[in-house]
Chain A
Amino acid sequence: MTAVTERQKLAYVNAQAADGRVNLEFETEEGMTLNMGPQHPATHGTLRIVAKLDGEQVIACEPIMGYMHRGYEKLTEVRTYPQVTTLVNRIDWLGSFANEVPFILAAEKLMGVEAPPRAQWIRTILFEMSRLANITLFLGDMALQLGALTPAFYAFRDREFLLNQIEAATGGRFHPNFDRIGGLKDDLPKGWIADTKVAMERIRSFCDLTDDLVTGNEIFQARTRGVGVIPADVAQSYGLSGANLRGSGVDWDLRRDQPVGLAWDNVAWKVWTHPDGDSFSRFWVRLQEVRESTKIVEQLCDGIPTGSIMAKVPRIIKVPEGEAWVATENPLGEMGYYVVSKGDLGPFRVKIRSASFNNISIVPWVTRGVYVPDVITILASLYFILGDIDR
Protein backbone atom coordinates (compact mmCIF):
# COMPACT_ATOMS: atom_id res chain seq x y z
CA MET A 1 0.00 0.00 0.00
CA THR A 2 1.66 3.17 -1.12
CA ALA A 3 1.70 6.19 1.06
CA VAL A 4 -1.01 8.69 0.38
CA THR A 5 0.43 11.58 -1.61
CA GLU A 6 -0.21 15.19 -0.89
CA ARG A 7 -2.22 15.49 -4.02
CA GLN A 8 -4.50 12.70 -3.04
CA LYS A 9 -5.04 14.21 0.37
CA LEU A 10 -5.96 17.52 -1.17
CA ALA A 11 -8.33 15.82 -3.59
CA TYR A 12 -10.04 14.06 -0.74
CA VAL A 13 -10.43 17.28 1.22
CA ASN A 14 -11.86 19.07 -1.75
CA ALA A 15 -14.28 16.25 -2.43
CA GLN A 16 -15.55 16.33 1.12
CA ALA A 17 -16.02 20.07 1.06
CA ALA A 18 -17.75 19.93 -2.27
CA ASP A 19 -20.17 17.39 -0.91
CA GLY A 20 -21.20 19.83 1.73
CA ARG A 21 -20.34 17.36 4.40
CA VAL A 22 -18.16 19.38 6.67
CA ASN A 23 -16.36 16.60 8.38
CA LEU A 24 -12.79 17.69 8.10
CA GLU A 25 -10.38 17.32 10.91
CA PHE A 26 -7.47 19.66 10.72
CA GLU A 27 -4.78 18.41 12.97
CA THR A 28 -3.00 21.51 13.94
CA GLU A 29 -0.53 21.80 16.72
CA GLU A 30 -2.56 23.64 19.23
CA GLY A 31 -6.06 23.31 17.98
CA MET A 32 -8.53 26.05 17.34
CA THR A 33 -8.95 28.90 19.74
CA LEU A 34 -12.49 29.82 20.65
CA ASN A 35 -13.23 33.06 22.40
CA MET A 36 -16.47 33.42 24.33
CA GLY A 37 -17.19 36.83 25.68
CA PRO A 38 -16.84 39.22 27.32
CA GLN A 39 -20.33 39.91 26.11
CA HIS A 40 -22.09 36.63 25.66
CA PRO A 41 -25.52 35.44 26.71
CA ALA A 42 -24.10 32.39 28.38
CA THR A 43 -21.76 34.07 30.78
CA HIS A 44 -23.21 35.67 33.88
CA GLY A 45 -21.77 39.00 33.01
CA THR A 46 -18.50 40.04 31.55
CA LEU A 47 -16.42 36.90 31.79
CA ARG A 48 -14.27 35.99 28.87
CA ILE A 49 -13.42 32.36 28.22
CA VAL A 50 -10.64 31.47 25.85
CA ALA A 51 -10.70 27.81 24.98
CA LYS A 52 -8.25 25.85 22.87
CA LEU A 53 -10.19 23.16 21.08
CA ASP A 54 -9.30 19.96 19.38
CA GLY A 55 -12.40 19.36 17.35
CA GLU A 56 -15.14 19.69 19.88
CA GLN A 57 -13.07 18.87 22.91
CA VAL A 58 -11.37 21.42 25.06
CA ILE A 59 -7.63 21.07 25.45
CA ALA A 60 -7.17 24.09 27.66
CA CYS A 61 -9.62 26.64 28.90
CA GLU A 62 -8.73 29.89 30.56
CA PRO A 63 -11.12 32.44 32.00
CA ILE A 64 -9.97 36.02 31.59
CA MET A 65 -11.36 38.35 34.17
CA GLY A 66 -11.02 41.96 35.08
CA TYR A 67 -13.80 43.38 32.97
CA MET A 68 -15.68 44.27 36.13
CA HIS A 69 -12.69 45.03 38.32
CA ARG A 70 -13.63 48.15 40.23
CA GLY A 71 -10.81 48.26 42.70
CA TYR A 72 -12.75 47.55 45.88
CA GLU A 73 -9.80 46.93 48.11
CA LYS A 74 -8.25 50.26 47.19
CA LEU A 75 -11.53 52.12 47.52
CA THR A 76 -12.17 50.84 51.03
CA GLU A 77 -8.96 52.47 52.16
CA VAL A 78 -10.31 55.94 51.48
CA ARG A 79 -13.79 55.54 52.85
CA THR A 80 -15.29 55.50 56.31
CA TYR A 81 -16.99 52.42 57.71
CA PRO A 82 -20.56 53.35 56.80
CA GLN A 83 -19.42 54.29 53.31
CA VAL A 84 -17.67 50.97 52.92
CA THR A 85 -20.92 49.26 53.91
CA THR A 86 -22.66 51.02 51.06
CA LEU A 87 -19.98 50.02 48.64
CA VAL A 88 -19.69 46.44 49.70
CA ASN A 89 -23.33 45.66 48.91
CA ARG A 90 -22.41 45.64 45.28
CA ILE A 91 -19.89 42.84 45.28
CA ASP A 92 -22.37 40.00 45.03
CA TRP A 93 -25.12 42.01 43.58
CA LEU A 94 -27.89 39.46 43.77
CA GLY A 95 -27.73 38.64 47.43
CA SER A 96 -26.63 42.01 48.63
CA PHE A 97 -27.49 42.05 52.28
CA ALA A 98 -25.29 39.05 52.73
CA ASN A 99 -22.25 41.06 51.65
CA GLU A 100 -22.61 43.64 54.34
CA VAL A 101 -22.90 41.21 57.21
CA PRO A 102 -19.36 39.81 57.48
CA PHE A 103 -17.86 43.26 57.16
CA ILE A 104 -20.07 44.70 59.88
CA LEU A 105 -19.38 41.72 62.09
CA ALA A 106 -15.63 42.17 61.65
CA ALA A 107 -15.89 45.82 62.61
CA GLU A 108 -18.05 44.92 65.60
CA LYS A 109 -15.50 42.32 66.63
CA LEU A 110 -12.77 44.92 66.64
CA MET A 111 -14.90 47.36 68.59
CA GLY A 112 -16.05 44.79 71.06
CA VAL A 113 -19.66 45.66 70.37
CA GLU A 114 -22.39 43.09 70.09
CA ALA A 115 -25.66 43.81 68.42
CA PRO A 116 -28.77 43.14 70.50
CA PRO A 117 -30.59 39.81 69.93
CA ARG A 118 -33.42 41.33 67.97
CA ALA A 119 -30.98 42.81 65.50
CA GLN A 120 -29.16 39.51 65.17
CA TRP A 121 -32.41 37.67 64.41
CA ILE A 122 -33.54 40.20 61.85
CA ARG A 123 -30.07 40.15 60.30
CA THR A 124 -30.37 36.39 59.95
CA ILE A 125 -33.77 36.65 58.36
CA LEU A 126 -32.57 39.19 55.82
CA PHE A 127 -29.45 37.14 55.24
CA GLU A 128 -31.50 34.08 54.40
CA MET A 129 -33.78 36.13 52.21
CA SER A 130 -30.85 37.41 50.24
CA ARG A 131 -29.77 33.81 49.85
CA LEU A 132 -33.20 33.01 48.46
CA ALA A 133 -33.12 35.96 46.09
CA ASN A 134 -29.75 34.86 44.79
CA ILE A 135 -30.32 31.14 44.42
CA THR A 136 -33.79 31.34 42.88
CA LEU A 137 -32.22 33.30 40.08
CA PHE A 138 -29.59 30.61 39.78
CA LEU A 139 -32.22 27.92 39.48
CA GLY A 140 -33.93 29.79 36.68
CA ASP A 141 -30.68 30.78 35.06
CA MET A 142 -28.99 27.40 34.98
CA ALA A 143 -31.88 26.04 32.98
CA LEU A 144 -31.60 29.11 30.73
CA GLN A 145 -27.96 28.41 30.07
CA LEU A 146 -28.84 24.90 29.01
CA GLY A 147 -31.49 26.14 26.65
CA ALA A 148 -34.74 26.13 28.62
CA LEU A 149 -36.34 29.56 28.54
CA THR A 150 -39.35 29.04 30.79
CA PRO A 151 -37.82 28.58 34.24
CA ALA A 152 -36.11 31.96 33.97
CA PHE A 153 -39.46 33.73 33.69
CA TYR A 154 -40.81 31.87 36.68
CA ALA A 155 -37.70 32.75 38.62
CA PHE A 156 -38.05 36.46 37.90
CA ARG A 157 -41.74 36.35 38.73
CA ASP A 158 -41.44 34.61 42.06
CA ARG A 159 -38.39 36.60 43.04
CA GLU A 160 -40.51 39.72 42.89
CA PHE A 161 -42.40 38.64 46.00
CA LEU A 162 -39.14 38.28 47.82
CA LEU A 163 -37.80 41.60 46.62
CA ASN A 164 -41.04 43.22 47.71
CA GLN A 165 -40.44 42.04 51.23
CA ILE A 166 -36.81 43.12 51.25
CA GLU A 167 -37.84 46.49 49.92
CA ALA A 168 -40.56 46.87 52.53
CA ALA A 169 -38.08 46.30 55.31
CA THR A 170 -34.99 48.04 54.01
CA GLY A 171 -36.03 50.42 51.28
CA GLY A 172 -34.00 48.85 48.51
CA ARG A 173 -34.81 45.94 46.25
CA PHE A 174 -31.24 45.01 46.20
CA HIS A 175 -28.40 46.99 47.66
CA PRO A 176 -30.33 47.48 50.90
CA ASN A 177 -27.47 49.06 52.85
CA PHE A 178 -29.35 48.26 56.00
CA ASP A 179 -26.71 46.93 58.37
CA ARG A 180 -24.95 49.25 60.75
CA ILE A 181 -22.14 48.70 63.20
CA GLY A 182 -24.03 47.77 66.32
CA GLY A 183 -27.29 46.70 64.75
CA LEU A 184 -29.64 47.71 62.01
CA LYS A 185 -30.88 50.95 60.63
CA ASP A 186 -34.59 50.50 61.32
CA ASP A 187 -37.07 48.09 62.76
CA LEU A 188 -39.38 45.94 60.69
CA PRO A 189 -42.62 47.46 59.46
CA LYS A 190 -45.99 46.26 60.65
CA GLY A 191 -47.41 43.24 58.92
CA TRP A 192 -44.07 42.33 57.45
CA ILE A 193 -43.88 38.95 59.07
CA ALA A 194 -47.22 37.77 57.73
CA ASP A 195 -46.34 38.90 54.22
CA THR A 196 -42.96 37.24 54.43
CA LYS A 197 -44.56 33.93 55.20
CA VAL A 198 -46.69 34.28 52.09
CA ALA A 199 -43.55 35.01 50.08
CA MET A 200 -41.95 31.86 51.48
CA GLU A 201 -44.92 29.86 50.28
CA ARG A 202 -44.42 31.29 46.80
CA ILE A 203 -40.75 30.37 46.82
CA ARG A 204 -41.59 26.86 47.86
CA SER A 205 -44.09 26.57 45.05
CA PHE A 206 -41.37 27.82 42.71
CA CYS A 207 -39.09 25.06 43.94
CA ASP A 208 -41.76 22.49 43.25
CA LEU A 209 -42.21 23.97 39.81
CA THR A 210 -38.50 23.72 39.16
CA ASP A 211 -38.57 20.13 40.30
CA ASP A 212 -41.33 19.37 37.85
CA LEU A 213 -39.85 21.23 34.93
CA VAL A 214 -36.14 20.85 35.29
CA THR A 215 -34.82 18.26 37.71
CA GLY A 216 -36.27 15.16 36.14
CA ASN A 217 -36.03 16.50 32.61
CA GLU A 218 -34.26 14.05 30.32
CA ILE A 219 -32.27 16.68 28.52
CA PHE A 220 -31.21 18.35 31.72
CA GLN A 221 -30.09 15.06 33.22
CA ALA A 222 -28.18 14.06 30.12
CA ARG A 223 -26.37 17.37 30.07
CA THR A 224 -25.48 17.57 33.73
CA ARG A 225 -24.99 14.07 35.08
CA GLY A 226 -21.34 13.18 35.16
CA VAL A 227 -20.25 16.52 33.75
CA GLY A 228 -17.61 18.45 35.58
CA VAL A 229 -16.89 16.03 38.38
CA ILE A 230 -14.85 17.61 41.16
CA PRO A 231 -13.50 15.28 43.84
CA ALA A 232 -13.62 16.50 47.41
CA ASP A 233 -9.90 16.92 48.02
CA VAL A 234 -9.39 18.90 44.84
CA ALA A 235 -12.34 21.07 45.79
CA GLN A 236 -10.74 21.85 49.13
CA SER A 237 -7.32 22.63 47.75
CA TYR A 238 -8.87 25.15 45.39
CA GLY A 239 -10.95 26.63 48.16
CA LEU A 240 -14.36 25.90 46.68
CA SER A 241 -17.11 26.70 49.09
CA GLY A 242 -20.82 26.76 49.49
CA ALA A 243 -22.93 24.44 47.40
CA ASN A 244 -19.95 23.60 45.20
CA LEU A 245 -18.23 21.99 48.16
CA ARG A 246 -21.36 20.35 49.47
CA GLY A 247 -22.14 19.03 46.02
CA SER A 248 -18.88 17.11 46.20
CA GLY A 249 -19.88 15.43 49.39
CA VAL A 250 -18.10 17.58 51.96
CA ASP A 251 -20.27 18.31 54.95
CA TRP A 252 -19.19 21.87 55.72
CA ASP A 253 -21.49 24.79 56.28
CA LEU A 254 -20.24 27.92 57.99
CA ARG A 255 -23.61 28.67 59.48
CA ARG A 256 -23.27 25.58 61.61
CA ASP A 257 -19.52 25.11 61.85
CA GLN A 258 -18.20 28.62 62.39
CA PRO A 259 -20.84 30.53 64.31
CA VAL A 260 -20.57 34.29 64.21
CA GLY A 261 -23.38 35.29 66.53
CA LEU A 262 -26.32 35.25 64.17
CA ALA A 263 -29.41 33.27 64.95
CA TRP A 264 -29.03 29.98 63.09
CA ASP A 265 -28.52 27.99 66.28
CA ASN A 266 -32.02 28.85 67.38
CA VAL A 267 -33.78 27.00 64.61
CA ALA A 268 -33.80 23.44 63.37
CA TRP A 269 -32.36 23.04 59.93
CA LYS A 270 -30.31 20.64 57.88
CA VAL A 271 -27.22 20.78 55.73
CA TRP A 272 -27.65 19.14 52.34
CA THR A 273 -24.83 17.32 50.58
CA HIS A 274 -24.59 15.15 47.52
CA PRO A 275 -21.79 12.65 46.94
CA ASP A 276 -21.48 12.84 43.16
CA GLY A 277 -19.60 16.06 42.62
CA ASP A 278 -20.98 16.69 39.15
CA SER A 279 -23.04 19.57 37.80
CA PHE A 280 -26.32 17.94 38.67
CA SER A 281 -25.37 17.49 42.30
CA ARG A 282 -24.46 21.16 42.62
CA PHE A 283 -27.82 22.13 41.14
CA TRP A 284 -29.67 19.70 43.36
CA VAL A 285 -27.94 20.88 46.54
CA ARG A 286 -28.89 24.45 45.78
CA LEU A 287 -32.50 23.48 45.17
CA GLN A 288 -32.69 21.76 48.53
CA GLU A 289 -30.98 24.68 50.19
CA VAL A 290 -33.63 27.03 48.92
CA ARG A 291 -36.34 24.91 50.45
CA GLU A 292 -34.39 24.72 53.69
CA SER A 293 -33.92 28.47 53.76
CA THR A 294 -37.63 29.08 53.47
CA LYS A 295 -38.16 26.88 56.50
CA ILE A 296 -35.42 28.73 58.39
CA VAL A 297 -37.03 32.08 57.65
CA GLU A 298 -40.43 30.89 58.79
CA GLN A 299 -39.06 29.55 62.05
CA LEU A 300 -37.12 32.72 62.65
CA CYS A 301 -40.14 34.88 61.93
CA ASP A 302 -42.03 33.10 64.66
CA GLY A 303 -39.53 33.76 67.35
CA ILE A 304 -37.97 37.21 66.95
CA PRO A 305 -37.11 38.53 70.40
CA THR A 306 -38.25 41.99 71.36
CA GLY A 307 -35.89 44.74 72.27
CA SER A 308 -33.85 47.44 70.63
CA ILE A 309 -32.28 47.00 67.26
CA MET A 310 -29.17 49.04 67.80
CA ALA A 311 -26.50 48.85 70.46
CA LYS A 312 -25.10 51.95 72.03
CA VAL A 313 -22.40 53.15 69.68
CA PRO A 314 -21.05 56.66 69.21
CA ARG A 315 -22.35 58.69 66.34
CA ILE A 316 -18.99 58.87 64.66
CA ILE A 317 -17.54 55.42 64.56
CA LYS A 318 -13.85 54.96 65.15
CA VAL A 319 -12.83 51.36 65.27
CA PRO A 320 -9.85 50.61 67.53
CA GLU A 321 -6.61 49.13 66.27
CA GLY A 322 -6.49 45.49 65.38
CA GLU A 323 -7.12 42.88 62.78
CA ALA A 324 -10.14 40.67 62.44
CA TRP A 325 -11.39 37.98 60.12
CA VAL A 326 -15.03 37.07 59.74
CA ALA A 327 -16.44 34.70 57.17
CA THR A 328 -20.05 33.73 56.62
CA GLU A 329 -21.91 31.28 54.45
CA ASN A 330 -23.05 33.61 51.70
CA PRO A 331 -25.29 32.48 48.87
CA LEU A 332 -22.31 31.96 46.59
CA GLY A 333 -20.08 30.33 49.14
CA GLU A 334 -17.76 31.48 51.84
CA MET A 335 -17.29 35.21 51.87
CA GLY A 336 -14.90 36.70 54.33
CA TYR A 337 -13.46 40.06 55.22
CA TYR A 338 -10.06 40.57 56.77
CA VAL A 339 -10.23 44.04 58.27
CA VAL A 340 -7.09 45.84 59.41
CA SER A 341 -7.85 48.90 61.45
CA LYS A 342 -5.58 51.62 62.78
CA GLY A 343 -8.08 53.43 64.91
CA ASP A 344 -9.34 55.70 62.16
CA LEU A 345 -12.70 56.55 60.77
CA GLY A 346 -12.09 54.09 58.00
CA PRO A 347 -10.27 50.78 57.64
CA PHE A 348 -6.57 50.58 56.85
CA ARG A 349 -6.82 47.54 54.63
CA VAL A 350 -9.71 45.25 53.82
CA LYS A 351 -9.02 41.95 52.13
CA ILE A 352 -12.22 40.67 50.59
CA ARG A 353 -12.24 36.93 50.19
CA SER A 354 -14.98 36.39 47.70
CA ALA A 355 -16.42 32.98 47.01
CA SER A 356 -16.60 33.10 43.23
CA PHE A 357 -12.91 33.89 42.83
CA ASN A 358 -11.98 30.51 44.25
CA ASN A 359 -14.93 28.80 42.62
CA ILE A 360 -13.89 29.89 39.15
CA SER A 361 -10.18 29.25 39.68
CA ILE A 362 -10.97 25.58 39.25
CA VAL A 363 -12.31 26.04 35.70
CA PRO A 364 -8.99 25.41 33.92
CA TRP A 365 -8.66 22.16 35.84
CA VAL A 366 -12.18 20.86 35.49
CA THR A 367 -12.66 21.67 31.81
CA ARG A 368 -9.81 19.57 30.50
CA GLY A 369 -11.19 17.21 27.91
CA VAL A 370 -14.85 18.22 28.05
CA TYR A 371 -16.93 19.28 25.10
CA VAL A 372 -17.74 22.90 24.39
CA PRO A 373 -21.39 22.80 25.55
CA ASP A 374 -20.18 21.18 28.76
CA VAL A 375 -18.08 24.24 29.46
CA ILE A 376 -21.29 26.22 29.64
CA THR A 377 -22.88 23.64 31.89
CA ILE A 378 -19.92 23.63 34.24
CA LEU A 379 -19.81 27.39 34.45
CA ALA A 380 -23.52 27.52 35.07
CA SER A 381 -23.35 24.92 37.83
CA LEU A 382 -20.37 26.52 39.56
CA TYR A 383 -22.43 29.69 39.67
CA PHE A 384 -20.56 32.90 39.96
CA ILE A 385 -21.35 36.57 39.96
CA LEU A 386 -18.83 38.72 38.13
CA GLY A 387 -18.74 41.34 40.83
CA ASP A 388 -17.75 38.61 43.23
CA ILE A 389 -14.90 37.39 41.06
CA ASP A 390 -13.55 40.73 40.03
CA ARG A 391 -14.36 42.87 43.03
Chain B
Amino acid sequence: MGLVESGKMPKPLTALLNLSRRYSIWIFQWGLACCAIEMGAALGSPRYDVMRLGVIPLPASPRQADLVCISGTVTDKMVPAIRRLYDQMPDPKYVISMGSCANCGGPYWDSYSVTKGVDQIIPVDVYVPGCPPRPEALLEGIVLLQERIQHEDIGARWRGDSIVVS
Protein backbone atom coordinates (compact mmCIF):
# COMPACT_ATOMS: atom_id res chain seq x y z
CA MET B 1 0.00 0.00 0.00
CA GLY B 2 3.00 2.21 0.36
CA LEU B 3 1.62 4.03 3.36
CA VAL B 4 4.57 3.28 5.56
CA GLU B 5 7.20 4.32 3.07
CA SER B 6 5.57 7.56 2.16
CA GLY B 7 5.04 8.39 5.80
CA LYS B 8 1.34 8.96 5.41
CA MET B 9 0.20 6.42 7.97
CA PRO B 10 -2.92 7.60 9.77
CA LYS B 11 -2.44 7.83 13.52
CA PRO B 12 -5.03 5.26 14.61
CA LEU B 13 -3.56 2.73 12.19
CA THR B 14 -0.08 3.34 13.53
CA ALA B 15 -1.33 2.94 17.05
CA LEU B 16 -3.07 -0.30 16.15
CA LEU B 17 -0.04 -1.69 14.39
CA ASN B 18 2.25 -0.73 17.22
CA LEU B 19 -0.12 -2.29 19.70
CA SER B 20 -0.12 -5.55 17.86
CA ARG B 21 3.64 -5.46 17.45
CA ARG B 22 4.37 -4.79 21.06
CA TYR B 23 2.29 -7.67 22.30
CA SER B 24 3.61 -10.25 19.91
CA ILE B 25 7.33 -10.15 20.36
CA TRP B 26 9.29 -13.26 19.67
CA ILE B 27 12.40 -13.17 21.82
CA PHE B 28 15.61 -14.85 20.80
CA GLN B 29 17.64 -15.54 23.86
CA TRP B 30 21.32 -15.15 23.31
CA GLY B 31 22.27 -16.51 26.65
CA LEU B 32 25.98 -16.33 27.21
CA ALA B 33 26.75 -16.47 30.92
CA CYS B 34 25.16 -16.16 34.34
CA CYS B 35 22.50 -13.77 33.15
CA ALA B 36 21.29 -16.53 30.87
CA ILE B 37 20.10 -18.41 33.91
CA GLU B 38 18.09 -15.46 35.14
CA MET B 39 16.76 -15.02 31.65
CA GLY B 40 15.85 -18.68 31.64
CA ALA B 41 14.07 -18.21 34.93
CA ALA B 42 12.18 -15.26 33.49
CA LEU B 43 11.27 -17.06 30.33
CA GLY B 44 10.71 -20.57 31.50
CA SER B 45 9.83 -20.66 35.15
CA PRO B 46 6.19 -20.36 36.13
CA ARG B 47 6.86 -17.65 38.68
CA TYR B 48 8.33 -14.94 36.47
CA ASP B 49 6.40 -15.97 33.43
CA VAL B 50 7.19 -13.73 30.49
CA MET B 51 4.45 -15.07 28.27
CA ARG B 52 1.83 -13.05 30.10
CA LEU B 53 3.37 -9.96 28.53
CA GLY B 54 2.85 -11.43 25.12
CA VAL B 55 6.50 -12.27 24.68
CA ILE B 56 7.12 -15.80 23.58
CA PRO B 57 10.57 -17.36 23.89
CA LEU B 58 12.34 -19.87 21.70
CA PRO B 59 11.94 -19.00 18.09
CA ALA B 60 13.42 -21.61 15.82
CA SER B 61 16.05 -19.30 14.44
CA PRO B 62 17.12 -15.68 14.52
CA ARG B 63 15.44 -15.13 11.19
CA GLN B 64 12.10 -15.39 12.94
CA ALA B 65 12.92 -13.29 15.98
CA ASP B 66 11.94 -9.73 16.81
CA LEU B 67 13.91 -9.18 19.94
CA VAL B 68 17.28 -10.44 21.01
CA CYS B 69 18.25 -10.36 24.64
CA ILE B 70 22.01 -10.44 25.04
CA SER B 71 22.71 -11.73 28.49
CA GLY B 72 26.17 -12.36 29.75
CA THR B 73 29.75 -11.41 29.06
CA VAL B 74 30.67 -10.58 25.49
CA THR B 75 34.20 -11.63 24.65
CA ASP B 76 36.21 -10.52 21.68
CA LYS B 77 36.12 -14.03 20.29
CA MET B 78 32.34 -14.05 20.34
CA VAL B 79 31.87 -10.72 18.57
CA PRO B 80 31.70 -11.99 14.97
CA ALA B 81 29.02 -14.47 15.94
CA ILE B 82 26.94 -11.77 17.63
CA ARG B 83 27.24 -9.45 14.67
CA ARG B 84 26.27 -12.19 12.27
CA LEU B 85 23.31 -13.16 14.36
CA TYR B 86 22.12 -9.58 14.60
CA ASP B 87 22.39 -9.17 10.86
CA GLN B 88 20.31 -12.28 10.36
CA MET B 89 17.37 -10.84 12.20
CA PRO B 90 14.78 -9.15 10.02
CA ASP B 91 13.67 -5.58 10.65
CA PRO B 92 12.12 -4.21 12.81
CA LYS B 93 14.37 -5.66 15.46
CA TYR B 94 15.14 -4.68 19.01
CA VAL B 95 18.00 -5.42 21.36
CA ILE B 96 17.96 -5.67 25.12
CA SER B 97 21.33 -5.69 26.79
CA MET B 98 20.94 -7.60 30.03
CA GLY B 99 23.39 -7.50 32.85
CA SER B 100 26.36 -5.31 33.54
CA CYS B 101 28.71 -7.40 31.40
CA ALA B 102 26.67 -6.74 28.30
CA ASN B 103 26.07 -3.12 29.26
CA CYS B 104 29.62 -2.02 29.83
CA GLY B 105 31.95 -4.90 30.48
CA GLY B 106 30.84 -5.25 34.07
CA PRO B 107 33.16 -6.78 36.64
CA TYR B 108 35.55 -7.68 33.83
CA TRP B 109 35.98 -4.17 32.57
CA ASP B 110 39.74 -4.42 32.66
CA SER B 111 40.11 -7.83 31.09
CA TYR B 112 42.10 -8.35 27.92
CA SER B 113 39.50 -10.49 26.27
CA VAL B 114 36.18 -8.88 27.17
CA THR B 115 34.34 -6.38 24.99
CA LYS B 116 33.35 -3.44 27.08
CA GLY B 117 29.70 -3.54 26.33
CA VAL B 118 27.71 -5.04 23.51
CA ASP B 119 26.68 -1.61 22.27
CA GLN B 120 30.07 -1.37 20.64
CA ILE B 121 28.84 -3.93 18.17
CA ILE B 122 25.10 -3.64 17.82
CA PRO B 123 22.69 -0.85 18.68
CA VAL B 124 20.91 -1.40 21.97
CA ASP B 125 17.40 -0.28 22.85
CA VAL B 126 17.10 -1.12 26.52
CA TYR B 127 19.80 -1.66 29.10
CA VAL B 128 18.91 -3.79 32.09
CA PRO B 129 21.45 -3.27 34.86
CA GLY B 130 22.31 -5.78 37.51
CA CYS B 131 24.70 -8.57 38.16
CA PRO B 132 22.66 -10.60 37.50
CA PRO B 133 19.44 -8.63 37.22
CA ARG B 134 16.49 -10.31 38.83
CA PRO B 135 13.98 -11.80 36.44
CA GLU B 136 11.59 -9.05 37.43
CA ALA B 137 14.15 -6.51 36.25
CA LEU B 138 14.25 -8.17 32.87
CA LEU B 139 10.48 -8.11 32.75
CA GLU B 140 10.55 -4.41 33.49
CA GLY B 141 13.03 -3.93 30.69
CA ILE B 142 10.68 -5.72 28.35
CA VAL B 143 7.76 -3.58 29.51
CA LEU B 144 9.81 -0.43 28.87
CA LEU B 145 10.60 -1.70 25.43
CA GLN B 146 6.94 -2.35 24.80
CA GLU B 147 6.08 1.20 25.72
CA ARG B 148 8.76 2.40 23.40
CA ILE B 149 7.36 0.33 20.58
CA GLN B 150 3.95 1.77 21.22
CA HIS B 151 5.18 5.30 20.59
CA GLU B 152 7.38 4.46 17.69
CA ASP B 153 7.16 6.07 14.31
CA ILE B 154 6.95 3.22 11.84
CA GLY B 155 7.90 5.45 8.91
CA ALA B 156 11.12 6.52 10.57
CA ARG B 157 12.05 2.97 11.28
CA TRP B 158 11.31 1.90 7.76
CA ARG B 159 13.50 4.63 6.33
CA GLY B 160 16.24 3.64 8.70
CA ASP B 161 16.36 6.97 10.52
CA SER B 162 17.56 6.99 14.06
CA ILE B 163 14.71 6.39 16.41
CA VAL B 164 13.61 9.28 18.57
CA VAL B 165 11.61 8.23 21.58
CA SER B 166 8.69 10.58 22.04
A binding-site residues for B, Cβ under 8 Å: 38-39, 45-46, 66-71, 74-75, 78, 86-87, 90, 93-94, 137, 152-153, 156-157, 159-160, 173-175, 386-387
Contact = CB atoms under 8 A, between A and B. Distances in A.
A39 B85 contact: yes
Interface string B124-148: 0000000110100000000000000
A83 to B, nearest CB: 9
Nearest to A94: B37
A71 B81 CA distance: 20
B77 A66 contact: yes
A46 B79 CA distance: 12
Contacts of A66: 75, 77, 113
Given A71-B111, A71-B113, A174 B37 contact: yes
Contact of B81 (A38, A74, A93, A175): A38
A75 B78 contact: no
Nearest to B31: A45
> What is the interface residue range for chain B against chain A?
20 to 34
A69 B132 contact: no
Given A69-B75, A70-B108, A156-B44, 6 more contacts: A46-B32, A66-B113, A69-B77, A86-B107, A156-B41, A175-B34
Nearest to B44: A156
A67 B77 contact: yes
22 contacts: A38-B78, A38-B81, A39-B81, A66-B113, A67-B78, A67-B81, A68-B32, A70-B108, A70-B111, A71-B111, A93-B33, A152-B44, A153-B44, A153-B45, A156-B46, A157-B45, A157-B46, A173-B132, A174-B132, A175-B131, A386-B33, A387-B33
A164 to B, nearest CB: 10
Contact of B34 (A75, A157, A174): A174
Interface in B10-44: 30-34, 36-38, 40-41, 44
A117 B39 CA distance: 37
A171 B53 CA distance: 28
B77 A90 contact: no
B138 to A, nearest CB: 13
A71 B112 contact: yes
A66 to B, nearest CB: 5
Contact of A160 (B47, B85, B108, B114): B47
Nearest to A89: B34
Nearest to A156: B45
A152 B44 CA distance: 8
B112 A68 contact: no
A74 B107 contact: no
B73 interface: yes
B114 A71 contact: yes
B60 to A, nearest CB: 10
Contact of A46 (B38, B44, B78, B107): B78
A206 to B, nearest CB: 13
A68 B75 contact: yes
A46 B37 CA distance: 13
B111 A75 contact: yes
B128 to A, nearest CB: 15
